Each structure stands twice: as structure tokens, then as C-alpha cells.
Amino acid sequence: MEQHKIDRINALARKAKTEGLTGEEQAERDALRREYIASYVGDLRGQLENMYVVDGHGQKRKLRRKEEQ
């Protein structure tokens, strides 16, 4: 996610605490938050998909999703 969008989320959060937000600003904040969370989850999944676990016998195996086990 681009830094200017993160800055906008922070600016809207500050404004919400001090003055309050209009309906349009709340919708913008919600959309930006959803985009931020999707980006964060995608990055985390990418890291986990490239991770290996070493078992007690010294063998490496890829992490699997819980539903795959």
C-alpha cells in the first residue's frame, strides 16, 4: 500500500477523534482500512508460504495451511 494512503488513514483517524467525520469521510476511511488490511494479510500469507519448519530429525518441510493438514 502506498504511503500517501496510510497517511490519509492516519489523518482521518485524527480528525475522527477531534472533530468527527462526515459520511463521505467515513466511507473513504472504511475503504482505505479494508485495502490496508487486505494488503497486510496478503504480505503475511506470502511470507508464510515461503517458510519452512525443521523437525526433530533435521528435515525441512513447508508450512501448510491448517485445513490442508
Position 69 confidence tier, pLDDT thresholds 50, 70, 90: low
Distance set, CA 8 to CA 26, 33, 59, 69 (Å): 12, 10, 46, 41
H or E, element range at 7: helix 3-18
- Domain region containing 49: 3-68
Reported as a single tens digit per residue, the pLDDT across 14-67 is 999 999 999 999 999 999 999 999 999 999 999 998 999 998 898 998 888 777
pLDDT at site 66: 78
pLDDT at residue 29, rounded to an integer: 96
Report which secondary-structure segment, H or E, holds 67: none
Q: What is the pLDDT of residue 68?
A: 61
CATH code at position 25? 1.10.287.540
> How many domains, in total, are found in the chain?
1
- Between 48 and 69, name the one with better pLDDT: 48
pLDDT score of 19: 95
- Short-list 25, 23, 3, CA closest to 14: 25
